[in-house]
Structure 1
Amino acid sequence: MTQTAIPYLFMRGGTSRGPYFNRADLPEDRETLARVLLAVVGSGHPLNIDGIGGGAAVTTKVAMLSPSQDAWADVDYFFAQISVLDRMVDFKPTCGNILSGVGPAAVELGLVEPTSDVTEVKIHAVNTGAKVLSKVLTPDGVVTYDGDAEIAGVPGTGAPITLNFMEIVGSSTGAFLPTGHLRDTFDGIEVTCMDVAMPMVIARAVDFGLTGHESADELDANTDFFAQMEAIRLQAGLAMGMGDVSKSVTPKFGLLAPAKDGGTIATRYFMPWNTHPSMAVTGAQCLASCALTPGSVADGLLERPDQSPANVVLEHASGTIDVLVDYDTSEGFSLNSAGLLRTARKLADGRVFVPSRILEGH
């Protein structure tokens, strides 16, 4: 079988992992591109045995980078979520954890020149239109991955990468509250449908008979909960103007509960057909915004801070994540920006091989 080699970086970004490509090395048309990415990951097998995926939604993600077409940005970041089993490619969402590796990858791929000991990389997330300023440590003009920063869900420490998200309200639907309401009810469950960095359907854990402190494995084993959640998500997707979302990973689903380990609020995040082992960067911004918004389903679950910017500490299935939220509540809730700290690490680089017949359209 003739194979075609494609240059790539293999990186961990935040609590996710996947290949990072120069967009110029991949097919232009989406249909062929999707076939290539399915082959790269090995979708269709629980272990992704015929590809480089890791058998989990957080390890079957792809980043594609190119010089930006946006006047503000340095680099365009195009994301794809590949399913583990179903041979599906979703180009609708973005991923903030994989975005953590975009700054270092852009320097490694020669798309951005390091400027000093800290290089600012302006990133345009083309899937949603979000703009993100990433600060990457580049002493002597070389990306460093060593450092003392820790993030929950990743062993050890690494060099800190700061991400400042701007213009993220209504990134997918065009509205902070896509249904026009602070609360909606589907199948008897109250939810807040919100679009900040990621469109989400957010509910109180107690309304599903849960504490909100369950482990990811405990939640994944609760098939009745997942069936109930998916039915609500499908109805909410229609109400949010997103159409039939049965084959889309968006909107994502989130649960809220009172904090128990000193954080601001307890959260669980769903991808949406299994539980995220930690927390998505984009989801964290939406959940933090929901927590800060008076009248949302978060009412009564936390003591809201009385000043901005506020550091919102979300407890999740693996620990905590801090979201620094700059906001205004003089007329409802208005988000200015959200900042997070992540780490990333280059794991490998070289060429990944796909059957040549895929590129020929057969």
Structure 2
Amino acid sequence: MPTIPCVLMRGGTSRGPVFLASDLPANTAARDAMLISALGSGHPLQIDGIGGGNALTSKVAIVGPATVPGADVDYLFAQVNVERALVDTAPNCGNMLAAVGPYAIERGLVTAGDPLTRLVIHNVNTGKLIEATVETPNARVTYDGTTAIAGVPGTAAPIRLAFLDAAGSKTGKFLPSGQIREMIDGYDVSLIDMAVAAMMADARSFGKTGGESPAALDGDRSFMAQLEAIRLQAGRAMGLGNVADLVIPKPILVSPPAAGGTIRARYFMPHSCHTAVAVTGAVCIAAACCTPGSVAHALAALPQPDAQGRRLLQIEHPSGSTPIEIEQNPETGEVTRVSVIRTARRILDGVVHVRDVAA
């Protein structure tokens, strides 16, 4: 039975193995078969692999030397379906992204600085660049610190992620359909592609308050079927074609803030509700809040920008809130930079045993 070196890491509110690209088959089908075997997909508990039986713990980061100018490393994200033998590499994952910098430094792909190391990560899924700042006192990665993030127990060292050019991550356009707001089957939605392709709708249009727990939303099968039907139409409207086997566009229900934040959100992955919010989802929501005419803008309690055009938004979600710093061109309103603080932890080093697959 073949073995593959890997490091099991938590990145933000997600967890999964991180692989060196050269340790995996170059052939896409063979690579995906190995990932399915490694995580044990095809069973709700992923009992025959190292997946955690949840979309948040069935993720993979594949890291290697940069293949584009201006980047230090490449990062390919793979969402491995829990119950089906299916791998989706369409979107980025901003939570697993938090683990990429520490992994790259510790593997020697990037030379550590002191006390900080800044590196530029090329997300292969979207072709976008993200700057990561990792704490490296004495040129060594530290995971210990005092930063807490909603959805993760305890505290850890902060990792700052700055999305440098997040618009059009999958469709090439901030507004893929050319409209800021439109109707799909009688539902008022905004289709926005900023770090992730998403479909946003007012929770109240679905008869929800926006404050429901993920379990309550997941358990409402009629609602989930309705949401999926609209998502499929949104995918076509965004130029993505049939998205039945894709995890994008992500459905996001938004509602007015309830705890002093900017807006409240329920983010879907897409077939279950996130217990917090994806980093890329939070980036997309923040950009929508700052875009007049969008569904989110109409509901947001938006703070005023500072002299540099920066705003600090708080995205409320089931586990608390996620702060997002967003910078816009004061004259054009174009979003130029979006930053978020995450944490990561190295959990386990070793090899994972996989079923033999033809290369």
- Normalising by the smaller structure, the TM-score range is over 0.9
> Where do 5+ consecutive residues of structure 1 fail to align?
none
- Give 1:67-86 correspondences, 5 Å limit: 67-86=65-84
> Per-residue displacement from partner, 1:7-49 (whole Å, max 9, x unpaired)?
1111000000000010000000100001000001000111111
3-state secondary structure, aligned to 2:298: coil
Amino acid at match of 2:222: D
Q: Which residue of 1 aligns with 2:325?
A: 324
Counterpart code for 1:230: E
Distance in 2 between residues matched to 1:197 and 1:17, nearest whole Å:
20
Q: What are the superposed Cα offsets for residues 250-293 of structure 1, whole Å, 9 maximum, x if unpaired?
A: 11110110111111110110000000111100010001111111
1:285 is matched with which residue: 279, 283, 286? 283
Q: What TM-score comes out, normalization by structure 2 length?
A: 0.97
Helix, strand or coil for the counterpart of 2:288? helix
Residue segments in structure 2 that go unaligned for 5+ positions in a row: none
Q: Aligned partners of 1:315, 1:121: CA distance in 2, in Å? A: 29
- Structure 1 distance, partners of 2:12, 2:217, is 22
Alignment partners' CA distance in 2, 1:299 and 1:337: 18
SS at match of 1:238: helix
The one-letter code matched in structure 2 to 1:301 is L
- Asked if residue 334 in structure 1 is aligned to residue 334 in structure 2, the reply is yes
2:304 to 297, 306, 319: 306
Aligned mates of 2:340, 2:89 — CA distance in 1: 24
More off after superposition, 245-254 vs 297-306:
297-306
Choose from 194, 197, 200 the match for 2:198.
200
Q: How does 1:73-112 map to 2 (within 5 A)?
A: 73-112=71-110
Counterpart of 2:329, as a letter, is D
Q: Secondary structure at the match of 1:150?
A: coil
Stretch moving more, 25-34 or 293-302: 293-302
Q: What is the CA distance between 1:299 and its match in structure 2? A: 4.0
What secondary structure does 1:298 align onto? helix
The answer to whether structure 1 residue 236 and structure 2 residue 234 are counterparts is yes
1:329 is displaced (CA, Å) by: 5.8
CA distance in 2, matches of 1:56, 1:329: 41
Kindly provide the CA deviation profile for residues 107-140 of structure 1, in whole angstroms up to 9, marking residues without a partner as x: 1222111021111121000100111110111111
TM-score (norm 1): 0.97
Cross-structure match for 1:49: 47
Residues 275-325 of structure 1: per-residue CA shift (max 9 Å, x gap): 011110001000111111110112431232332200010000111000000
2:25 is aligned with 1:24: no
Identical columns (%): 47
User: Are 2:326 and 2:335, in contact at CA under 8 Å, matched by a contact in 1?
Assistant: yes
Q: Which moved more, 1:153-162 or 1:114-123?
A: 114-123
Deviates more, 1:291-300 or 1:306-315: 291-300
User: 1:176 and 1:330 mapped to 2: Cα distance?
Assistant: 18
RMSD: 1.0
Instruction: Name whichever of 143-152 and 220-229 sits farther off.
Output: 220-229
Q: Aligned partner of 2:21: which letter? A: R
Matching of residues 81-230 of structure 1 within 5 Å? 81-230=79-228
Shift of 1:98: 0.2
Alignment of 1:29-40 (within 5 A): 29-40=27-38
Alignment of 1:251-290 (within 5 A): 251-290=249-288
After superposition, what is the alpha-carbon deviation per residue over 1:203-223, rounded to whole angstroms, capped at 9, x for unaligned? 000000000011111111111
Deviation sequence 1:176-215 (CA, Å, 0-9, x none) = 1000001111110010000000000000000000000111
In structure 2, how many angstroms separate the alpha carbons of the residues matched to 1:4 and 1:110?
25
- Inter-partner Cα distance in structure 2 for 1:352 and 1:302: 45
Looking at structure 1, the residues matched to 55 and 12 of structure 2 have their Cα atoms a distance apart, in angstroms, of: 14
Cα distance, 1:329–1:236 mapped onto 2, change above 3 Å: farther
Q: Deviations over 1:214-237 (max 9, x none)?
A: 111111111111111111110110
Distance 1:130 1:299 in 2: 25
Aligned to 1:350: 350
CA distance in 2, matches of 1:322, 1:91: 27
